Structure formats: structure tokens, C-alpha cells
Amino acid sequence: MSLYYLPGWLTHGQEFGLMQTVTVTTTSHGNLAGLGADDHPQYPERTNAEMITGAWILNMPLDHDGLTVGFYAKAPVVQAAAGVNLTDNSGGAADNTIQALPDPADAPATADALRDDLVLNLIPALRNNYADLAAKVNKALTVIRDVGLMAT
């Protein structure tokens, strides 16, 4: 590229001198203008979600043939069959906490008192724990489906 410059600094009233031509080469891409422009559709940008079409040849290990995929150095596998979500009939409320199970009263006066203690304290904690587990399993299944590791 050619740049033109005037030798020395010009002040008000000076006449323009003879212009000289200097050839400049750039060895750093950081010194080039327009690098942020997305004007090469044959190259996908790293920061934008762009559709890649056609056959790409990559000079690197990638365990993927379009039908199978391997993650983290694992051999490629075929997509898993669809799995069903758990149906939560526990009657508990999922609250993201596996609760400690309360101990029954040390010396209930009667069998009825023991039953009432279990119904009031232990069984609700068990139900909530089952509800939490069902919610987490269902969330994991959704994520696995969303990334394509399991059929929908």
C-alpha cells in the first residue's frame, strides 16, 4: 500500500512542498482495518451463530460422522433411544433439597401415636425427597434430549 506524506510540519502560511511516496508493509493483522467486518461468508465467525453447510474437511481429530458422536475422547456412539420422563405421584413438593429423614419419637405411647408421628414427619420428608429426585432426573433427560444425545 502507498501512503503520501509531507516532509516536516506545516504551519499556517507555509506552502505545500513536494509530496513523497513511501511504501509500507503490514506484518501484524492488528494493524489492518476492517477485520471485524463479516464480509467473508465462506468462513463462520467464532462469536456469531452461523449455519455451516456443505462438506467440511477438518485437519484434526473429531469423532463425528453425522450419525454418531463421541465426547471427551470416547468412541462415537449412536444416539440413544427416546427415554420417558418420570411421573411423580409421590405427593411431595420438589424444593431442590434432599431432606434429612426425621427419627420417630423415642417412646411413643401407643401404636397410633407412632403412626401419627410417621405420617406427620417421616412420610412428607420421603415424598419431598422422591419429588426432588424425579424433578432432577427429568431435567437431566431434557438436557440430554436437547443436545441430541437421546431421541425425543
Total domains present in the chain = 1
Kindly state the cell numbers that stand for 28.
501484524
HEC string for 48-112: CCCCCCCCCCCCCCCCECCCEECCCCCCCEECECCCCCCCCCCCCCCCCCCCCCCCCCCCCCCHH
Going by the DSSP 8-state scheme, the letter that residue 25 receives in this structure is -
Domain membership of residue 26 (yes or no) is no
Domain membership of residue 139 (yes or no) is yes
Print the domain residue range for 102: 61-146
Distance CA 135, CA 128 (A): 10
Per-residue pLDDT of the chain (152 residues; tens, 9 = 90+): 444 444 444 444 444 444 555 565 666 666 667 766 777 766 666 666 667 677 766 565 555 565 666 666 666 677 778 888 999 999 999 999 999 999 988 888 999 999 999 999 999 999 999 999 999 999 999 988 887 778 87
How far apart (Å, rounded) are the C-alpha atoms in residues 136 and 149?
A: 17
21 domain-assigned: no
Residue 112 in any domain: the answer is: yes
- The closest of 26, 21, 29 to 3, measured between CA atoms, is 21
Kindly report the pTM of this predicted structure: 0.51
In a domain, 141, yes or no: yes
The three-state secondary structure class of 135 is: helix
Is 149:77 a contact under the CB 8 Å cutoff?
A: no
Contact between residue 4 and residue 19 where contact means Cβ atoms under 8 Å apart: yes
β-pairing, 77-78 vs 68-69, is antiparallel
Indicate whether 71 belongs to any domain. Answer: yes
Report if residue 35 sits inside a domain.
Answer: no
